[in-house]
């Protein structure tokens, strides 16, 4: 490569970096740097009226899982925190399963419609996807609250005598999250199924496979990547959900997001809030790494 | 094994579940709209159809302020996000190999990898100090924060379009004596326009919908539509809330439909 | 007017470097229809891209009208390209496409309109001026690409396998069209193709390339009649190759000998199938056995085997009367006339 060529390439690279600079700067300053600040804050001491005192302390991290008895200083596991952590992971997993159960057939349905119809069904599933999270949570709350549709329907049918208290329970949070995140499962699964060449399945059937065998051995491996992507798209936001658990669970049933928020509100324990946030991020990263490993594993076999 | 007419596309039960799913998705939203049209004062008693709650909402100063704030915030954030994302997409595509590409992509997608609440409190921490130091409590902070997490949403469709664009077109333009700027103006930009618009609309909707970031970062007295709604919810459930929610619903539907129409039209 | 001096192009660096062009050198005269011919990977497209300016050379010079343009960007060279996939701007009409270069050069609108009209008339597409380019057929898009490249009156027009996407009939029509255009405009055309028949019918001169090097540059007739090596002989038209040896003013092949004026040593003997004579004639006389006859309507290909197992194909024009020239299994005398023999250097 001669000098002129190298010089041209370097000028080109410089030009590209300059173009990308504004976007990169904004995100670095307002998205990446703040996270580093969170790490720092997780090792400080809570201030008297919120915020922090610049004194090193590991109490924040300690309090994530443990609590100290105020009288005799014994260390025990923080039941409240563990419950919330457990609830977050469990509810997120169940939400993922529910959305899988409903979402995959829906994606299949849309993908197997004739081409002209497909745009219509896709449009139908996209609308909830882009509708305000808060609005949809309000809508689902309307369904299950004491004077909501379901209770009224059951009362009218005579199946129950008094309205069932469904709000402010784990169940409510589950219903809320499943409702709100359902479109997130459908879209990636749909993309994977749509990409699938159905003639492969027909070839399988031609070779005497039963429908179930065909599904298992031919269709499923191809669609797996979409299912995994959808699961992650549901699981990760569920773990960090704030709005939905707040509205559906009230103050009684909290998830990790609500617990974190509390530390910056009435709890006045910013370091704990910071530590909890990092714990949440760690959980999310674990899920993402697991996802990457699953999908690259697939690519290696495929 | 008899080979009867077999259609692998037909999965027993899939259609039933799918229709159930659609019904489940839409009934709550429909009920919401229906409730917003309740003429009666109480949300539990139906008294006929009326638009009164929309009227009440539109006269409510709190609501109007929040709506204005949301619109200004969403437009500005989406504009900043779209312009910077377009520049970044131009930088990372249409090249055989460019050493910074991976890093830039990673950075630009970073907001999507971290839970929103973590980002929100991270910015809360920083802004708490900065607001104290500078004394500036205006909308600017929210605008920049929104821009940051809107960038990935604008970046994706624009980058996808650029990657799918025929590279020889720009080569041909250069061959025909066009300067770099002329090529951009006459060839690249017109072809990119639908994707840029789609990116803008996506960023707009994402900003408009945001609850968590706005709730944590707003200064006292500031409200976006979602935070206003959240505040109202804390007090009591009134039909006005349904009206506001329905309005938000309508806006989202319109924007999605518009974005849809734009992407369908592309040749 | 275009002089290519020791042009080299390598991709990559160090151990993985790939040299696409090795010190290529030749000249092209004004108004020539010059073709770069060769199989895929021979470097013809790379050479074209270097002339157009889409890549800088690794070494050497490109002298156009006395000026070295090797490091000028494409938009500063008076050279225009017709791309293989046409690269028409899909969001512009035909007229806008054709006028693009003039607009980029900042010409006044009236001049652009007038030139566009002239160009469209030249390629017979005036009635489609306001259609979107995406709506046209392949052949029409091709002509728009041509008009677009011709509009700014370049010194050289480069055509990168422009006919490869067309069906046979359209292809033949366009070959005639292109030749006509070139003669009418008097411009220098540099045409790239892998189709030797296309090159033979259209070109003033052809450069046969292989492995990044020029094998031979000559007129179509000279290339066919006097190929300089076995690659050119094999690439253009059909050929028979036989191992032979020269010693003491004589040629020895297949047990026969002939007086020749050639240096001693091993050579490759080449003879075109249509020059092989079934029967006795002046030249190299051999005994051969007929393996198969393949009927081609206008002629018959006779596949022969020679004493040492080598193959020979003779092309015999079918007579009006008399049936086949011979039968399968026949043993007969075959002659290779002295003036039809080409003595080519033996490949390494």
- A64-73, B85-94, B165-174: range with lowest mean pLDDT: A64-73
Mean pLDDT along residues B143-161: 89
* CA gap A56, A45 in Å, rounded: 7
Task: Name the residue in chain A with its Cα closest to that of B204.
Answer: A130
Range of the domain at A261: 79-300
B159 φ, ψ (degrees, to nearest 5): -65, -40
pLDDT greater than 70 at residue B2: no
Contact flag B186-C103 (C-beta cutoff 8 Å): yes
Residue A61 has a pLDDT of: 82
Interface predicted TM-score (ipTM): 0.81
**Average pLDDT of the residues of chain C:** 89
- From the list B144, B145, B248, the residue facing A135 with the nearest CB is B248
**How deeply is A50 buried, as exposed, middle or buried, from its count of CB atoms within 10 A (0-12, 13-18, 19+)?**
middle
Q: Is residue A71 part of a domain?
A: no
How many distinct structural domains can be found in chain A?
1
pTM for the whole thing? Answer: 0.79
Tokens for C97, please give them. 């496409």
Specify the long-range contacts of residues A219-226, CB closer than 8 Å, at least 24 apart.
Answer: A219/B8, A221/A298, A221/A302, A222/A192, A222/A195, A222/A196, A223/A189, A223/A192, A223/A193, A223/A196, A224/A192, A224/A298, A225/A192, A225/A295, A225/A298, A226/A107, A226/A188, A226/A189, A226/A190, A226/A191, A226/A192, A226/A193
pLDDT greater than 60 at residue A87: yes
In this complex, how many residue pairs, one in chain A and one in chain C, have their CB atoms less than 8 Å apart?
Answer: 12
Q: Which residues of A touch C10 (CB under 8 A)?
A: 1
- Residue C181: how many other CB atoms lie within 10 Å: 19
Residues contacting residue C95 through CB under 8 Å, at least 6 positions apart: C116, C120, C129, C130
Q: Is residue A45 part of a domain?
A: no
Contact flag C101-B176 (C-beta cutoff 8 Å): yes
* Tokens 């046979």 belong to residue: C168
Name subunits touching B (3+ CB pairs < 8 A): A, C
SS3 letters across chain C: CEEEEEEEEEECCHHHCEEEEEEEEEEECCCCEEEEECCCCCCHHHHHHHHHCCCCCCEEEEEECCEECCCCCHHHCCEEEECCCCCCCCCCEHHHHHCHHHHHCCCCHHHHHHHHHHHHHHCCCHHHCCCEHHHCCHHHHHHHHHHHHHCCCCCEEEEECCCCCCCHHHHHHHHHHHHHHHHHHCCEEEEEECCHHHHHHHCCEEEEEECCEEEEEECHHHHHHCCCCHHHHHHCCCCEEEEEEEECCEEEECCEEEECCCCCEEEEEEECHHHCEECCCCEEEEEEEEEEEEECCCEEEEEEECCCCCEEEEEEECCCCCCCCCCCCCEEEEEEEHHHCEEEECCC
CATH number of the domain bearing residue A280: 1.10.3720.10
Pairing of strands C205-210, C33-37: parallel
Pairing of strands C188-193, C33-37: parallel
The shortest C-alpha distance from C44 to chain A (Å) reads 20
Q: What is the DSSP letter of B219?
A: P
Q: Which residues of B touch A23 (CB under 8 A)?
A: 84-85, 87-88, 108, 151, 155
pLDDT greater than 60 at residue A51: yes
* CA gap C42, C209 in Å, rounded: 6
Q: How many CA atoms lie within 13 A of A95 on its CB side?
A: 36
Q: Is residue A61 part of a domain?
A: no
Q: What is the pLDDT of residues B58-91, one digit of tens each?
A: 888 888 899 999 999 999 999 999 999 999 998 8
Q: Is residue A292 part of a domain?
A: yes
Q: Which residues of A touch B15 (CB under 8 A)?
A: 105, 109
- Whether A8 and chain C come into contact, CB under 8 Å, resolves to yes
Q: Is residue A202 part of a domain?
A: yes
* CA gap C60, C51 in Å, rounded: 12
pLDDT greater than 70 at residue B226: yes
pLDDT greater than 50 at residue B42: yes
Task: Lay out the sheet containing C156-160: strands in order across.
Answer: C79-82, C156-160, C188-193, C33-37, C205-210, C213-218
Mean pLDDT along residues A70-95: 85
Q: Is residue A19 part of a domain?
A: no
- From the list A1, A4, A8, the residue facing C13 with the nearest CB is A1
Contact flag C87-B191 (C-beta cutoff 8 Å): no
Q: What size, in residues, is chain C?
A: 348
| CA nearest to B116, candidates B137, B158, B145, B139 | B145
Residue C117 has a pLDDT of: 92
The shortest C-alpha distance from C91 to chain B (Å) reads 7
Interface test with A, best of C8, C56, C58, C60 (most A CBs within 10 A): C56
pLDDT greater than 50 at residue B5: no
Contact flag A205-B229 (C-beta cutoff 8 Å): no
Q: What is the pLDDT of residues C219-272, one digit of tens each?
A: 999 999 999 988 999 999 889 998 888 888 888 888 788 888 888 888 888 999
pLDDT greater than 90 at residue A299: no
Tokens for C25, please give them. 């050198």
Instruction: Tell me the residues of chain A between 201 and 220 that have a Cβ less than 8 Å away from chain B.
Output: 201-202, 205, 208, 211, 214-215, 219
Tokens for B242, please give them. 């349904």
Contact flag A143-B31 (C-beta cutoff 8 Å): yes
Q: Is residue A55 part of a domain?
A: no
* Tokens 């050279």 belong to residue: C79
The shortest C-alpha distance from C206 to chain A (Å) reads 30
- Residue A246: how many other CB atoms lie within 10 Å: 26
- Residue C14: how many other CB atoms lie within 10 Å: 5
* CA gap C305, C313 in Å, rounded: 9
Task: Name the residue in chain A with its Cα closest to that of C55.
Answer: A5
| CA nearest to C206, candidates C5, C193, C345, C25 | C193
* CA gap A25, A38 in Å, rounded: 19
Residue C328 has a pLDDT of: 87
- From the list A16, A35, A183, the residue facing B98 with the nearest CB is A16
Residues contacting residue A184 through CB under 8 Å, at least 6 positions apart: A99, A129, A230, A233, A234, A237
Contact flag C71-A4 (C-beta cutoff 8 Å): yes
pLDDT greater than 50 at residue A196: yes
Residue B6 has a pLDDT of: 53
**Average pLDDT of the residues of chain A:** 83
Task: Name the residue in chain B with its Cα closest to that of A150.
Answer: B28
Name subunits touching A (3+ CB pairs < 8 A): B, C
Residue C151 has a pLDDT of: 92
pLDDT-flagged residues of chain C (< 50): none
In this complex, how many residue pairs, one in chain B and one in chain C, have their CB atoms less than 8 Å apart?
Answer: 63
The shortest C-alpha distance from B175 to chain C (Å) reads 5
- Residue A31: how many other CB atoms lie within 10 Å: 24
Q: Are the beta carbons of A244 and A176 closer than 8 angstroms? A: yes
Instruction: Tell me the residues of chain A between 159 and 178 that have a Cβ less than 8 Å away from chain C.
Output: none
Which tops the pLDDT comparison, B217 or A204?
B217
Indicate the pLDDT class of residue A302, thresholds 50, 70 and 90: very low
Contact flag B205-A242 (C-beta cutoff 8 Å): no
Interface test with B, best of C81, C96, C97, C119 (most B CBs within 10 A): C81
C191 φ, ψ (degrees, to nearest 5): -115, 130
Residue A296 has a pLDDT of: 67
Q: Which residues of B touch A288 (CB under 8 A)?
A: 113
Interface test with C, best of B168, B177, B265 (most C CBs within 10 A): B177
Residue B128 has a pLDDT of: 85
* CA gap A57, A42 in Å, rounded: 8
Find the distance separating the first CA and the last CA of chain C, reported in whole Å.
36
- Whether A115 and chain C come into contact, CB under 8 Å, resolves to no
Q: Which residues of B touch C89 (CB under 8 A)?
A: 169, 172-173, 186-187
Mean pLDDT along residues A205-233: 77
Pairing of strands A52-53, C342-345: unpaired
* CA gap A184, A103 in Å, rounded: 9
**% of chain A beyond a pLDDT of 90:** 8
Tokens for C54, please give them. 């889409």
- From the list C90, C104, C149, the residue facing B178 with the nearest CB is C104
- From the list C81, C85, C134, the residue facing B175 with the nearest CB is C81
- Whether A3 and chain C come into contact, CB under 8 Å, resolves to no
Residue B1 has a pLDDT of: 38
Q: Is residue A152 part of a domain?
A: yes
CA dist list (Å): B218 to A250, B151, B235, C5 = 22, 20, 19, 69
- Whether C83 and chain B come into contact, CB under 8 Å, resolves to yes
Residue A147 has a pLDDT of: 78
């Amino acid at each position: 490569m001669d000098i002129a060529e190298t010089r041209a390439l370097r000028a080109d690279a410089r030009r590209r970096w300059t173009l990308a600079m504004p976007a990169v700067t904004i995100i670095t300053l307002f998205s990446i740097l703040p996270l580093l600040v969170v790490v720092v804050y997780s090792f400080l001491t809570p201030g008297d009226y919120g915020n922090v005192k610049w004194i090193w302390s590991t109490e924040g991290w300690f309090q994530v899982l443990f609590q100290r008895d105020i009288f005799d200083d014994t260390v025990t596991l923080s039941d409240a925190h563990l419950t919330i952590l457990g609830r977050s992971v469990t509810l997120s997993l169940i939400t993922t399963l529910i959305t899988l159960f409903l979402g995959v057939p829906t994606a299949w349905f849309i993908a197997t419609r004739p081409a002209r119809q497909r745009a219509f069904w896709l449009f139908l599933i996209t609308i909830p996807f882009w509708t305000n999270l808060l609005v949809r949570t309000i809508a689902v709350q309307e369904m299950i609250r004491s004077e909501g549709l379901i209770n009224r329907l059951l009362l009218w049918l005579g199946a129950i005598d008094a309205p069932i208290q469904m709000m402010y329970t784990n169940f409510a949070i589950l219903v809320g999250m499943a409702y709100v995140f359902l479109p997130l499962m459908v879209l990636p699964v749909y993309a994977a199924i749509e990409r699938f060449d159905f003639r492969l399945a027909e070839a399988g059937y031609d070779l005497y496979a039963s429908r179930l065998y065909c599904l298992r051995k031919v269709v499923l491996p191809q669609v797996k990547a979409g299912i995994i992507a959808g699961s992650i798209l549901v699981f990760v936001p569920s773990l960090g959900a704030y709005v939905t658990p707040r509205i559906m669970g009230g103050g009684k049933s909290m998830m990790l997001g609500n617990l974190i928020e509390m530390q910056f509100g009435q709890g006045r324990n910013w370091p704990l809030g910071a530590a909890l946030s990092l714990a949440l991020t760690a959980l999310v990263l674990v899920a993402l790494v697991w996802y990457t490993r699953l999908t690259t594993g697939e690519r290696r076999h495929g | 094994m008899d080979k009867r007419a077999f259609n692998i596309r037909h999965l027993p039960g899939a259609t039933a579940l799918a229709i159930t799913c659609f019904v489940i998705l839409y009934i709550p939203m429909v009920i919401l709209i229906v409730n917003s049209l309740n003429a009666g004062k109480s949300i539990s008693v139906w008294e006929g159809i009326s638009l009164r709650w929309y009227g009440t909402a539109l006269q409510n100063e709190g609501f109007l302020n929040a709506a204005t704030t949301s619109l200004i915030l969403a437009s500005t954030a989406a504009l900043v996000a779209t312009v910077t994302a377009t520049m970044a997409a131009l930088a990372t595509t249409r090249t055989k190999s460019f050493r910074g590409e991976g890093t830039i992509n990673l950075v630009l997608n970073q907001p999507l990898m971290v839970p929103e609440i973590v980002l929100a409190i991270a910015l809360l921490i920083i802004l708490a100090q900065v607001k104290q130091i500078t004394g500036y409590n205006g909308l600017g902070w929210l605008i920049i924060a929104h821009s940051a997490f809107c960038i990935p949403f604008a970046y994706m469709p624009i980058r996808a379009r650029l990657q799918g664009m025929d590279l020889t077109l720009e080569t041909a333009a250069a061959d025909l004596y066009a300067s770099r700027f002329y090529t951009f103006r006459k060839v690249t930009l017109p072809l990119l326009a639908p994707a840029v618009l789609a990116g803008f609309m996506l960023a707009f909707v994402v900003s408009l919908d945001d609850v968590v970031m706005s709730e944590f970062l707003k200064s006292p007295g500031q409200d976006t539509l979602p935070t206003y709604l959240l505040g109202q919810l804390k007090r009591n459930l009134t039909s006005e809330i349904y009206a506001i929610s329905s309005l938000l619903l309508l806006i989202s539907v319109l924007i999605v439909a518009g974005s849809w129409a734009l992407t369908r039209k592309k040749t | 007017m275009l002089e290519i001096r020791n042009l080299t192009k390598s991709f990559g660096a160090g151990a993985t470097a790939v040299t696409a062009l090795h010190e290529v050198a030749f000249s092209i005269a004004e108004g020539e229809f010059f073709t770069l011919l060769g199989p895929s990977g021979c470097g013809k497209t790379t050479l074209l891209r270097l002339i157009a300016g889409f890549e800088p050379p690794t070494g050497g010079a490109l002298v156009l009208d006395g000026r070295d343009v090797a490091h000028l960007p494409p938009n500063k060279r008076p050279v225009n390209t017709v791309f293989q996939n046409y690269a028409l701007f899909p969001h512009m009409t035909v007229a806008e496409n054709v006028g693009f270069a003039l607009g980029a050069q900042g010409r006044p609108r009236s001049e652009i309109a007038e030139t566009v009209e002239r160009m469209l008339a030249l390629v017979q597409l005036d009635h489609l001026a306001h259609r979107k380019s995406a709506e046209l057929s392949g052949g029409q898009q091709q002509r728009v690409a041509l008009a677009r490249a011709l509009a700014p009156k370049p010194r050289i027009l480069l055509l990168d396998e422009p006919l490869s996407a067309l069906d046979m009939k359209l292809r033949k029509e366009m070959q005639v069209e292109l030749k006509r255009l070139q003669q009418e405009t008097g411009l220098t055309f540099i045409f790239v193709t892998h189709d030797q028949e296309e090159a033979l019918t259209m070109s003033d001169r052809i450069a046969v390339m292989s492995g990044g090097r020029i094998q031979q540059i000559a007129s179509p007739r000279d290339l066919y009649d006097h190929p300089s090596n076995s690659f050119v002989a094999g690439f253009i038209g059909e050929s028979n190759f036989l191992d032979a040896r020269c010693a003491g003013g004589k040629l020895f092949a297949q047990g026969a000998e002939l007086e020749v004026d050639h240096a001693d040593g091993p050579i490759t003997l080449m003879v075109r199938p249509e020059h092989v004579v079934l029967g006795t004639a002046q030249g190299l006389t051999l005994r051969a056995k007929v393996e198969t006859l393949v009927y081609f309507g206008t002629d018959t290909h006779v596949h022969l085997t020679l004493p040492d197992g080598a193959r020979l194909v003779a092309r015999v024009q079918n007579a009006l009367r008399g049936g086949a020239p011979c039968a399968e299994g026949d043993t007969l005398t075959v002659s290779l006339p002295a003036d039809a023999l080409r003595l080519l250097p033996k490949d390494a």
